[in-house]
Structure 1
Amino acid sequence: MKKRFLNPIALIFLWTASSVFFVSCEEPVEQPIPKGDDGQVFAIDTDDSEIPYLVIDSRGAGIPYEPGVSAQLKIYIEKKLIQEQPIDIEFRGKTSFRLSDKKGFNFESIDASGEGVDVSFFGLPEEEDWRLIGHVVNIQEKFIWDHSLIYNFVGYEISNSIGKYASRGKFVEMEVNGEYLGLYYFCEKLKRSSERIDIKSLNSSSTNLSGGYILKIDKSDAGPEHDGKPISYFLNNWSDDAAYTFQNSFRSEFDVFGNPLQFPAFGDPFHPQQYLETYFTYEYPKAEDITPAQKEYIAAFVERFESALLEDDFNLGERTYTEFIDIGSFVDYFILSELTRNVDAYRISTYLEKDRDGKLAMGPIWDMNIGFDEGGRIPMNDWVVNYNEYAPTDPWQVPFWWSRLMEDPEFKSAVKNRWTSLRLTFLSTGQLNTLVDTTVNYLQQNGAVSRNYAKWDKGIGVNYDQSIVDLKRFLGERTSWMDREIAKF
């Protein structure tokens, strides 16, 4: 019998056909849908991550800039629902809100009737006002501020470690209305509270006008007259940042060089002389609550401090300005702002507080998203207090306070003593590196970094590992430079 051989092409055909038949007989593989233990479907699978996962649902309503809209917040850890809370949520930020595709949020915990209610999250003290801070991502222009994702957390942890309160919080991942938004810092709003900024209350019936007050040197806030305006308004109206009015602020009597101002306050936003002005906005009591008498008191107190600072002759040992300010808080604010090279410090996002019968104190620190090794403006080998020399056209300049304080040998001596002590403990190179490494390991081991950048690295080209190398190198170089400079004080 003649053997018959199939040619190779026929063999390939038969193998392919049988393979197709075999595969078609298999059961289809069902892809598991990530869910919480209550059946909540997640926008992304976080596997067994220990990082809390937030699900926020505004029930079909669009989230506004202000005022907020009611929503439901669910918090999961390892897919187990640990807390559920009605909230009122809105977008937050000024420049970051306009520039970033990854938006930040303010929210208030509320009860069933919509009234604010104090609630504890993650073991933090009960309160009703909270923040969800994300890093700035601009996909169109292909830039990110803070590739490391940890600037704010690290800055605030350093502050708390040295005994200066800063906003406490927790890293979380979150989705809003079914869209995964990545990694955020869930933290406290800076406000008057026995567990936050611990100063005495002050209301319209208070007879002691001396405190407490919380002021900000900052861009102005959009007032209630803007409530309900569309998102497009807040995305494009930069003039609101400089819309200072008698209702929301008072102005220093002196320009940023320490000279008396000779032109009226509350000019048009971004008028040619705005860079000379320093405005103090009312954080507590709020602009809508502070009384005329309270406004007059706190403005006069600041003016007395500024006049004393300018008039004191340090060569003769005159230091009457210390009667008005808590020197220790100014020293710590200087150290924290300079260590982190926070170019927003001193001139915007800058908090001050004054307790009843107390002195004016600096802090808490806030907003580190363009600090550390993020870009330029201030070189490695200079002080942030010298910002005005590097950005003279910026509408928001550093007040004269800091250049004047740097002329006082006793202030510099206090900085030297505090810095020397902290470098042996909380601000040692080893402690700073451990803080960075511990934080990064937590985020990476739980997969949050890769999930965040799968969402947000759209052609930007983030090298996360390199960002951590750069951050640690910055901290080493910055502290070494400060060691050398402060040794000369």
Structure 2
Amino acid sequence: MFKRSIFIFAFLFSGLFISCEKDLPVSTNDESDEEEVTPRIPHFYIDTDNHDSITSKENYLEGDLVIEGNDEFPNYEGRTKIRGRGNFSWFNLPKKSFKLKLNSASPLMDLPAYKKWILLANYLDGSLLMNSIPYKTAHLLEMPFTNHMIPIELTVNGQDRGFYVFTEHKGVSYQRIDVGEDGLLLELDTYFDEALQFKSEHYDLPVMIKFPKKEDMPEAEAQTLLTAVQSDFNQLESLVYDSSFPNNNYLDYFDDLAYVNYMIVYQLTLNREINHPKSTYIHKTAGGKYSMGIIWDFDWGFGYSENQEHFRENTTQTPLFLDSSSALAGTKFFSKFMEDPHMQILFKERWNWFRAHKYSELKKHIKEYAKIVEQAASKDYERWGLRDATGNSEADLQRVLQWLDARANYLDTYVSGL
């Protein structure tokens, strides 16, 4: 296995990432005759210096950040930098996502202290509920390094920007994605826009090294790293591609449970980003196995269509992977693992466990999330339009739940045939 001992980084502390779900705050009362109180949604206020417009995803602007936790989260005031983020969404959609970089690390919204944070616009999600599903599912499956999705309202330079989701930056550290100082975080994405990148030998996968970062090391060291990672990844890929698969030692390099958990999230949400692939992450500790995750970006999930619709009834029976003869590299590579009888059995066992013990908890979470989101919905729709929502929060919630139930029923049928 690939080991890298010549590189020394600043991540010298040990610790465990807090991988358990930070539940949305739901106030309860022991008196059965009193109604449950829905938590108030937090509000973020950002004012850039001189009220300069945020027009770049490369260059930060400096400004002030004020958070009103509304008795659910701690208030906050401090200096920050802000810039745009995203690829397709930044250049093509009117509602923009942002990246924050605080002047000093702070534990915003009760999450571990860090400098970098993300504000997700989720313009394509008219229901405002999509992020409540995959990330809660991943937490229920105890997938490490899963982001927390906290609904907020956002005002920038005095202008109301509606509903946003506050979440962690996809950074490597002992408090975030803890792969150790000699570990790896890879992103597979057709945008292919990182400094350290290669195409895999057999499936032509667009593999990028997100961590370590090229700017943190001399050029010669970066090239040595790239060569070593490419060789190591191709070793795994060769085993998957080989005619002996799955009757070889590919599982010495690849984490089966991590893959199955990842597949449950992506199958349940029908997130077809993996087919391209786009926003597909794989992490690895030094000497460890390649593990799927973190999960990220579900714009192409939930029956998404090119006219920017989700939760269409006729998509609940759609296979996650396109035809295996497809030219898409992600389809060819990631669907191959499900040809292994071992993976099929493990997937079946894991899905049946989730269905029996966690699915009802997932639906309860979605309903609670919907109550919080409802407080920001009208302003969001007034600013950005309905985007395939009805404007009736209860109707939109029921549409989401009905789609999810139909999708879960489809998976029940799917695993019965494994």
In the alignment, the residues of structure 1 paired with residue 323 and residue 100 of structure 2 have an alpha-carbon distance, to the nearest angstrom, of 33
Aligned to 2:29: none
1:176 is aligned to 2:124: no
Which residue of the other structure, out of 62, 65, 79, is the alignment partner of 1:70?
Answer: 62
Which residue of the other structure, out of 266, 289, 295, is the alignment partner of 1:337?
Answer: 266
Aligned to 1:456: 384
- Post-superposition Cα deviations, 1:329-367, rounded to whole Å, max 9, x if no partner, equal 111111111101112135100111110110111001101
C-alpha deviation, 1:181, in angstroms? 0.1
Aligned to 2:205: 278
Specify whether residues 156 and 459 from structure 1 end up closer, same or farther in structure 2 by C-alpha distance, changes over 3 A only: closer
Moved more, 403-412 or 289-298: 289-298
- Post-superposition Cα deviations, 1:41-62, rounded to whole Å, max 9, x if no partner, equal xxxxxxx982111110112223
In the alignment, the residues of structure 2 paired with residue 252 and residue 309 of structure 1 have an alpha-carbon distance, to the nearest angstrom, of 12
TM-score (norm 2): 0.81
Which residue of the other structure, out of 189, 192, 199, is the alignment partner of 2:179?
Answer: 199
Moved more, 70-79 or 303-312: 70-79
Aligned to 2:28: none
Spell out the pairing of 1:373-384 with structure 2 (5 A cutoff). Answer: 373-375=303-305, 379-384=315-320
Which residue of the other structure, out of 105, 122, 128, is the alignment partner of 1:118?
Answer: 105
1:250 is aligned to 2:198: yes
In the alignment, the residues of structure 1 paired with residue 153 and residue 80 of structure 2 have an alpha-carbon distance, to the nearest angstrom, of 17
SS in 2 for 1:368: coil
Which residue of the other structure, out of 138, 162, 171, is the alignment partner of 2:141?
Answer: 162
Code of the residue aligned with 2:84 in structure 1: it is F
Code of the residue aligned with 1:436 in structure 2: it is I
Spell out the pairing of 1:253-402 with structure 2 (5 A cutoff). Answer: 253-255=201-203, 277-289=204-216, 291-311=222-242, 313=244, 318-346=247-275, 347-375=277-305, 379-386=315-322, 397-402=329-334
Spell out the pairing of 1:412-423 with structure 2 (5 A cutoff). Answer: 412-423=344-355
TM-score (norm 1): 0.70
In the alignment, the residues of structure 1 paired with residue 136 and residue 385 of structure 2 have an alpha-carbon distance, to the nearest angstrom, of 27
In the alignment, the residues of structure 2 paired with residue 461 and residue 443 of structure 1 have an alpha-carbon distance, to the nearest angstrom, of 13
> Does the aligned pair in 2 maintain the 1:72–1:84 contact within 8 Å?
yes
In the alignment, the residues of structure 1 paired with residue 213 and residue 387 of structure 2 have an alpha-carbon distance, to the nearest angstrom, of 43
> Does the aligned pair in 2 maintain the 1:387–1:398 contact within 8 Å?
no
Specify whether residues 184 and 458 from structure 1 end up closer, same or farther in structure 2 by C-alpha distance, changes over 3 A only: closer
Specify whether residues 318 and 106 from structure 1 end up closer, same or farther in structure 2 by C-alpha distance, changes over 3 A only: same
Code of the residue aligned with 1:156 in structure 2: it is Y
C-alpha deviation, 1:195, in angstroms? 2.3
Specify whether residues 432 and 49 from structure 1 end up closer, same or farther in structure 2 by C-alpha distance, changes over 3 A only: closer
In the alignment, the residues of structure 2 paired with residue 96 and residue 388 of structure 1 have an alpha-carbon distance, to the nearest angstrom, of 29
SS in 1 for 2:63: strand
In the alignment, the residues of structure 2 paired with residue 417 and residue 49 of structure 1 have an alpha-carbon distance, to the nearest angstrom, of 36
Aligned to 1:100: 93
In the alignment, the residues of structure 2 paired with residue 130 and residue 248 of structure 1 have an alpha-carbon distance, to the nearest angstrom, of 23
Aligned to 1:478: 407
In the alignment, the residues of structure 2 paired with residue 149 and residue 475 of structure 1 have an alpha-carbon distance, to the nearest angstrom, of 15
C-alpha deviation, 1:123, in angstroms? 0.7
> Does the aligned pair in 2 maintain the 1:250–1:279 contact within 8 Å?
yes
Specify whether residues 399 and 304 from structure 1 end up closer, same or farther in structure 2 by C-alpha distance, changes over 3 A only: farther
C-alpha deviation, 1:285, in angstroms? 0.9
C-alpha deviation, 1:78, in angstroms? 3.8
C-alpha deviation, 1:311, in angstroms? 2.1
SS in 1 for 2:273: coil
1:443 is aligned to 2:414: no
- Where structure 2 has 5 or more consecutive residues not aligned to the other structure, the ranges are 1-37
Code of the residue aligned with 1:358 in structure 2: it is G
1:127 is aligned to 2:114: yes
> Does the aligned pair in 2 maintain the 1:131–1:186 contact within 8 Å?
yes
Aligned to 1:146: 125
C-alpha deviation, 1:90, in angstroms? 0.3
- Post-superposition Cα deviations, 1:4-60, rounded to whole Å, max 9, x if no partner, equal xxxxxxxxxxxxxxxxxxxxxxxxxxxxxxxxxxxxxxxxxxxx9821111101122
Aligned to 2:188: 217
In the alignment, the residues of structure 1 paired with residue 227 and residue 292 of structure 2 have an alpha-carbon distance, to the nearest angstrom, of 20
C-alpha deviation, 1:475, in angstroms? 0.7
In the alignment, the residues of structure 1 paired with residue 271 and residue 387 of structure 2 have an alpha-carbon distance, to the nearest angstrom, of 27
- Post-superposition Cα deviations, 1:363-406, rounded to whole Å, max 9, x if no partner, equal 011011331243379943232122666xx58xx64252223212
C-alpha deviation, 1:160, in angstroms? 1.2
Code of the residue aligned with 1:310 in structure 2: it is Y
- Post-superposition Cα deviations, 1:243-286, rounded to whole Å, max 9, x if no partner, equal xxxx431111013xxxxxxxxxxxxxxxxxxxxx3211121012
In the alignment, the residues of structure 1 paired with residue 387 and residue 331 of structure 2 have an alpha-carbon distance, to the nearest angstrom, of 40
Specify whether residues 326 and 458 from structure 1 end up closer, same or farther in structure 2 by C-alpha distance, changes over 3 A only: closer
- Post-superposition Cα deviations, 1:189-218, rounded to whole Å, max 9, x if no partner, equal 12212222111113xxxxxxxxx0101011
> Does the aligned pair in 2 maintain the 1:171–1:184 contact within 8 Å?
yes
How many pairs are equivalent? 365
In the alignment, the residues of structure 2 paired with residue 484 and residue 76 of structure 1 have an alpha-carbon distance, to the nearest angstrom, of 46
Specify whether residues 169 and 380 from structure 1 end up closer, same or farther in structure 2 by C-alpha distance, changes over 3 A only: closer
SS in 2 for 1:386: coil
